[in-house]
């Protein structure tokens, strides 16, 4: 028995442990217990001082009041490759921050998330010096001329169930800039004119919702070798802007309602562009603008409807690789009701009769980000899926 106890203690020490800390808008305690939370100012001090907030700590920020900041905060604290540093929002019980999405596939319900607000054009979170961090159930907004939150340019950060927004009209503004991974997050450029983008991404977006409310700014600007998966992207000048030298993998997204092109590839590239299984519809410009006549790309299983052109430019690569797109009824066939449950309310779930339903690859997977709920024999309400939906 004694040896078993020693073994368990040793195993625990080898694997580390998450230590809880608690933050409240009215806190003044040590933060070591939920009944004695620290103040937000104390949390900011800890997180902006390298080595103060150590690996293995989880700061639980309660949605119980005002968390306003003016100047920028440089978040310096980091976790490690074996033990993360975690910043998590909650309302009553730690872990209750995520309440799902409005109407199943709409915006995140942020009711239980603390609102961390930066109220001046100079205020934002600069977390590029921090790594091995998890951001969870946080609602962060700013008026910053650059980014609301600028995270590590490598892949050493992870955001889950968070909303990031920016209301500044500067052409450099965005809600989120990161080379890390975001899963089930919302990014919104709330400025209705001007602006830079809702998000600038060099890493991975998976099952996210991205909106530019300005017809002058794209929803997404990419760099490096990003992966954009199963995300709903709409509004703005372009859904996705791909600058020269960028090599993305764009798979299974819904890209709609842009004032310009759904996806814009700029003039030249030395890599093969990959756009597979996307709903790209109802854009004033082209569905996919390849710009360069000889630009290489694999554009397969995409549903392209009611764009100025389905695919513009691209040359022989596009001719050779437009696999299955003719079967998806491309061009100007139909209208929004042909594909979506309710386009006017941004319910982009597919209707059963859409040519995109169960028409992607692997077999029975539908095109786009929002699959039908096929867990009920007669078909259920809309849910967001990030995997194949089987009949």
Per-residue pLDDT of the chain (391 residues; tens, 9 = 90+): 454 444 433 444 445 699 999 999 999 999 999 999 999 999 999 999 877 888 999 999 999 999 999 999 999 999 999 999 999 999 999 999 999 999 888 999 999 999 999 999 999 999 999 999 999 999 999 999 999 999 988 999 999 999 999 999 999 999 999 999 999 999 999 999 999 999 999 999 999 999 999 999 999 999 999 999 999 999 999 999 999 889 999 999 999 999 999 999 987 666 889 999 999 999 999 999 998 777 888 999 999 999 999 999 888 888 899 999 988 988 888 899 999 999 999 999 999 999 999 999 999 999 999 987 765 544 334 434 333 332 2
Report the DSSP beta bridge partners of residue 201. 178, 222
Classify the C-alpha dihedral 256-97-152-173 as positive or negative: positive
The tokens describing 189, both together, are 């450029």
What pLDDT shows up at residue 90? 98
What pLDDT shows up at residue 268? 66
CA 120/CA 43 separation, integer angstroms: 20
What pLDDT shows up at residue 121? 96
Continuous H helices in the chain:
2-15, 40-47, 316-321, 336-339
CA 282/CA 305 separation, integer angstroms: 7
| Contact criterion met (CB below 8 Å) for 209 and 186 | yes
Q: Maximum CA pair distance of the chain?
A: 75
């Amino acid at each position: 028995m004694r040896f078993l106890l020693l073994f368990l203690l040793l195993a625990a020490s080898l694997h580390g442990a998450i230590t809880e800390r608690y933050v409240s808008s009215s806190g003044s305690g040590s933060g070591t217990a939920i009944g004695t939370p620290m103040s937000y100012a104390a949390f900011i001090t800890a997180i902006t001082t390298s080595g103060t907030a150590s690996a293995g700590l989880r700061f639980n920020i309660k949605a119980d009041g005002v968390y306003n900041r003016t100047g920028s905060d440089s978040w310096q604290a980091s976790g490690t490759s074996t033990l993360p540093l975690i910043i998590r929002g909650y309302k009553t019980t730690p872990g209750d921050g995520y309440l799902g999405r409005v109407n199943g596939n709409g915006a995140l319900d942020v009711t239980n998330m603390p609102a961390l607000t930066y109220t001046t054009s100079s205020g934002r979170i600069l977390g590029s010096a921090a790594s091995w961090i998890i951001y969870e159930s946080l609602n962060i907004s700013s008026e910053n001329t650059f980014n609301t939150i600028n995270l590590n340019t490598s892949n050493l950060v992870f955001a889950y169930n968070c909303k990031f927004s920016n209301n500044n009209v500067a052409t450099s503004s965005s809600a989120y800039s990161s080379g890390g991974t975001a899963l089930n997050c919302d990014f919104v450029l709330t400025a209705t004119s001007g602006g830079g983008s809702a998000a600038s991404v060099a890493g991975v977006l998976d099952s996210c919702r991205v909106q530019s409310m300005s017809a002058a700014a794209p929803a997404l600007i990419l760099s490096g070798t990003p992966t954009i998966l199963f995300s709903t992207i709409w509004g703005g000048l372009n859904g996705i802007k791909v600058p020269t030298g960028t090599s993305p993998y764009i798979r299974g997204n819904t890209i709609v309602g842009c004032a310009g092109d759904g996806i814009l590839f700029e003039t030249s590239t030395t890599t093969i562009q990959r756009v597979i299984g996307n709903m790209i519809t109802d854009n004033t410009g082209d569905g996919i603008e390849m710009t360069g006549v000889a630009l290489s790309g694999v554009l397969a299983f995409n549903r392209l409807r009611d764009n100025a052109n389905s695919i513009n430019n691209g040359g022989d690569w596009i001719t050779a690789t437009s696999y299955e797109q003719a079967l998806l009824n491309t061009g100007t066939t139909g209208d929004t009701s042909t594909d979506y449950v309710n386009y006017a309310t941004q319910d982009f779930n597919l209707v059963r009769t859409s040519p995109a339903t169960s028409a992607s690859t692997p077999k029975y997977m539908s095109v786009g980000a929002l699959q039908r709920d096929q867990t009920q024999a007669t078909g259920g309400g809309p849910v967001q899926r990030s995997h194949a939906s089987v009949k």
